[in-house]
Each structure stands twice: as structure tokens, then as C-alpha cells.
Amino acid sequence: MQVESEIFLPSKLDHNRQKPYQHRHHHAPKFSLFLYRLFEQTPIYAYVLFFVFTFATYVGTLTTYDEHRTASVPVLFYIELSIFVYCLIEFILRIYASNAKERYCGMQGKRRFFLEHYLIFDFLLLVCYGIVFLWNFAKFYHSHALFLHALRFLQLFRFIPLDRYIGSIPLIWKIVRQYRRVLLATVYMCFLLMLPTAYLLWIVERSIKTNDLYFFQTYTDSLWFTINSMATIGYGDTWPQTLIGRLLTATLCCIGVVLWTLPAGIISAGLTSVDEKRHARKQLYGPAARFILAWWRLQHVNKRIRSIRSKDNQKERCKQVIAYLHCARLCREFQHHRYGTPQDYDIQLRRDINQILHQLQIIGNKLNNTSENLHIEQ
């Protein structure tokens, strides 16, 4: 007997249908494909880079201590020089490895690759590091202090290109753009609350002297205190003395807590919704693949029925009915995962289910007719 793969799956592809799509295949060199997978799709490589950059930053912090400066400055110099040379070679290899993907070929593809993989930021960092090392070798600095300040400053921006492996910056930017009206409304309400409250505090407290100091001598001092109170920081360098000033401060703190926590809640809700959509999309991959495979098998069975002899037609008809049932069941499973639980079915889903039930009824009638024909032949 034939197994299911022999019944439904063809032994070889139709070469006549394959010819029109041959020009779409992109054959990349194996070395560029290996480099692309290493640089862009290997998490371990990202962890190694993060560890190396963190170690270089740690050595840079040691140069700020007087007792470790003499020993750590040469170490920092050779570490940063080695990282600069390696990043320069990696930058060139990344451009070469982009040929592994068809969408990154050509000038437009290279432009897309630069924008999507932070290569513009890598290029700017390499230029800045090159200028710093060139000035150091040419003795343009009067002391090593400026050279060390430049290296430590550039170290802070070296972690940004590592976001190509995480995608956190585009994700946060997408959520901010999606909820930009609510976020702008919240910030604007905080701004409207801050200015008049700061002015009233300045009017009330400007003549009060505490410990030979005027805490609210200017409107700027009052704004500084208002921002600290709304953010619930409370440095303790300034405080109101009058009853009206304390009531205004207490009201400002209560309202400020609510207003300042709204953006954090909105962003966290956006992150949660993105994660739920991604999880639901992953759950949909399996049913969708099984449904497509069942549909493809059904099409192959239909093609075989049209090409076989008449005496084997009845057997192939039975296989066709089985393929119809299998495809209909997987279609129902796919739609269940697509639209959620039965309580969440919408009008479009009910219409699809009615169509599936109608097709099942037709398949049942065909099964009855097939069984009657087989009984008559016997």
C-alpha cells in the first residue's frame, strides 16, 4: 500500500512551472552567506561584543582613579586601538556579507542595509575614533587628558549599534508614534499644571527667609522646586514655609504622581500588546502551514484525477474526498487560531464557518454517491 506521502505528495516538481520563476532565485557566495549569518543572525556573537565593550568601558572607568591611572591608561589605549581595527574590518565584511540577501544588492539595497542595520552609526563611530587616534599619533594634544576624555565619551555610544540584535529602539519608537497623541496630551497637562503652580509658589514664598536664605528668590527657583515635587524626587534643598505653599506642594505632588506615571503605563501597555500579537502570530504559523500543505495536496490529487485512466478514477476519487475532508478540518483549525475563542468570532468568521459546513455537506453527498457506485459495481 502507498503511504500518505506517496498518495498526496508528488515525486518531483513540474519543470514547466518552475521555469518562469528561475530568475527570482538569488545565488549568493557561501562565504558572504556565512558572514551574514555570523554578523546578523548569531546571538552568541552579540554577547561576545557586549562583553568586550563592557570590559573596555570598565578599563576606561579605572582611568578616572588616581591610584589606577598610570597602569590603566596604556591598557585602555591598546584595547581601544584593537577594537577600532577589528570594527573597521567588521564594517567592510558586513558590507560584503549584505550580498547574501537579494534585497540588499545594488545601490538601493546597500542604502536599505545601512538604514536597517545601524551601519550609518557604525560609520560615524569609526570616523570619530579614526580622528581621535590620528590626532593622538600626530601629537595634536597637549596632554593625554583630552585623548582619554574623547575615548571615554565615544565608549558611551558604542553600545547603540548592538541594538540591531534586539530591536528595542525601533520598538519603543513605534509605540511612541502609535500613542503620540496621548503622550503629548499628558506632557501638555503637566506643563499647564507646572507653570501656574510655580508662579503662585513664588508669589507666596518669595518674601520668606529661612536660615538666612531665600529659597524662592526668583521664578527659576520656584520652577526648579515645582519640577522636583511633580517628579516626587525631593532633594531637600528647598521647601515651602507657609501654609498655602505647603498645600500647593501637596496638591502638586498628588497630581504629578498620576500624570507622570501615565506615559510609563502607556508604554508598558504598548509593549505588552506587541508581545501578545507576536505570540499569537507564532501560534498561527503551525495551523497555517498545515492548511497550506493540505490545500497543495488536494490540488495535486485533482491534477492526478484528470490525468489517470478511467478504471483507476474511482480510487482517486476516494483519495480526493479524503483530501477534501483533511483540508476542511485544517481550514477550520486555522480560522480558530486566527480569530480566537468561539466567544470572539466575528461576522466574517461565521460566514467562513458556514461555507466550510456547506463544503462538508457537499463532501458527504459525494461520499454517499461513491459508496453507492462501489456497491453497484460489486
Q: Is residue 91 part of a domain?
A: yes
Q: Is the pTM of this model over 0.75?
A: no
Cα–Cα distance measured from residue 98 to residue 36, given in angstroms and rounded to the nearest whole number: 7
- On the question of pLDDT at 283 being above 70, the answer is no
Q: Which of 210-219, 241-250, 315-324, 355-364 has the lowest mean pLDDT?
A: 315-324
Q: Is residue 258 part of a domain?
A: yes
Q: Which of 15-19, 299-303, 359-363 has the lowest mean pLDDT?
A: 15-19
**pLDDT tens figures, 140-158:** 555 577 888 888 888 888 8
| CATH assignment at residue 104 | 1.20.120
157 contacts: CB under 8 Å, gap ≥ 6: 121, 125
Residue 73, exposed/middle/buried by CB under 10 A (0-12, 13-18, 19+)? Answer: middle
Give the three cell numbers for residue 194.
Answer: 507646572
Q: Is residue 195 part of a domain?
A: yes
Cα–Cα distance measured from residue 31 to residue 8, given in angstroms and rounded to the nearest whole number: 38
Cα–Cα distance measured from residue 190 to residue 129, given in angstroms and rounded to the nearest whole number: 41
Give the CA distances from residue 158 to residues 166, 170, 356, in Å, rounded to whole numbers and listed in that order: 15, 17, 56
- On the question of pLDDT at 47 being above 80, the answer is yes
Share of the chain above pLDDT 70, in %: 65
How many helices and strands, by DSSP H and E, does the chain display?
A: 14, 0
Domain span at residue 303? 275-377
Instruction: Return the pLDDT at 54.
Output: 92
Residue 334, exposed/middle/buried by CB under 10 A (0-12, 13-18, 19+)? Answer: buried
| CATH assignment at residue 193 | 1.10.287.70
Instruction: Clarify whether residues 49 and 152 are in a common domain.
Output: yes
Domain termination residue (choose one: 144, 166, 188): 166
Are the C-beta atoms of 89 and 126 separated by less than 8 Å? no
Give the three cell numbers for residue 91.
Answer: 564594517
Amino acid in position 295: W
Are the C-beta atoms of 374 and 314 separated by less than 8 Å? yes
